[in-house]
Amino acid sequence: MERDTTEGGVMCDYGLILGQIRSEISSTRCRVIQSANQELLLLYWSVGNIILEKAEWGSGFIPLLSKDICGEFPDMKGFSVRNLKYMRKFSGVVHSKQIVQTLSAQLSWSHVTLLLDKVKDLERWMWYAEQTGEFGWSVWVLDHQIATDLFSRQVTAKKISNFDRVLDSPQAKTVISAMKMPEDKPTIGLILCRDENSIVAEYALRDMSKPIGVSEYVFFQELPEYLREDLPDASVFGDRMVEEMEAAYHWRRGGD
């Protein structure tokens, strides 16, 4: 006789079973997306390689190719003139299909196009690609690391980063909800980019309907003169820290 798994008509293990199925679905979706991304990057590299081999056909080749491919496959995106030029450049930078197969498991096409735009040196290009795969950098994070010249700061200076954990989307939403006061207005976003045509802004805003501000930022090796006049000297901060530490020490000792 089969064991009754219900209590009052309610399946007592339903929540557990549902959780297992959700986990299976999520895992499979991730594998499907990763597999599709790998095949897409390999396709783009192969197309770029063909274009590169026919460089002698002149500047009219790519526009004609884009027109014919889009006409033949109207539902398939990614074969604009601009993207075909990226494919050609991708094939020109990465010569080995084996390397592409490795990279395709780590990078999206948005990562690749950002690297093609921002990094000219092959050693740096491969280093940033490998770091992106190892640490799971988003396109925004990769752009920031390139802009701040992480390669020089870590490889040249022999420094090691331990920033291998990121706050995922569900956690971020939880933090926003926990910190938001009842009287607060809806959360807005501010995106700071190296240039106003940044791929970061394009990537981040493509599905966004909430208020977002986009602006540029610039890095300085030294504090600008006009800010030095408004900020206290470093010794002032040091003295204040000492005062705070002494006050905390006396408070813990009961004011002795």
| pLDDT above 90 coverage of the chain, percent | 29
pLDDT recorded at residue 99: 86
pLDDT in tens, 205-248: 555 555 556 666 666 666 677 777 777 777 777 777 777 777 76
85 burial (CB, 10 Å; 0-12 / 13-18 / 19+) is middle
Would you state the structure tokens that stand for residue 155, as one six-digit string? 């490889």
Would you state the structure tokens that stand for residue 109, as one six-digit string? 């096409």
Amino acid at 188: I
Contact (Cβ atoms closer than 8 angstroms) between residue 217 and residue 194:
yes
Q: Return the ∠ at Cα 184 (arms to 181 and 189), rounded to 5°.
A: 115
Query: Can you tell me the distance from the alpha carbon of 175 to that of 34, in angstroms, rounded to the nearest whole number?
Result: 29
Would you state the structure tokens that stand for residue 113, as one six-digit string? 């196009």
pLDDT recorded at residue 165: 47
Average pLDDT over all residues of the chain: 76
Global model pTM greater than 0.75: no
Amino acid at 92: G
Would you state the structure tokens that stand for residue 106, as one six-digit string? 């780590």
pLDDT in tens, 83-141: 999 999 999 998 888 888 888 878 899 999 999 999 988 899 999 999 998 898 999 99
Would you state the structure tokens that stand for residue 180, as one six-digit string? 């938001």
With H, G, I as helix, E, B as strand and everything else as coil, classify residue 195.
Answer: coil
Q: Average pLDDT of 7-34? A: 79
Q: In sequence order, which ranges of the chain are alpha helices (DSSP H)?
A: 14-53, 61-72, 81-93, 97-104, 109-118, 122-135, 139-147, 150-151, 169-179, 199-205, 225-228, 234-252
Angle between helices 139-147 and 122-135 (to 10 degrees): 140
Q: Which of 48-62, 162-176, 196-210 has the lowest mean pLDDT?
A: 162-176
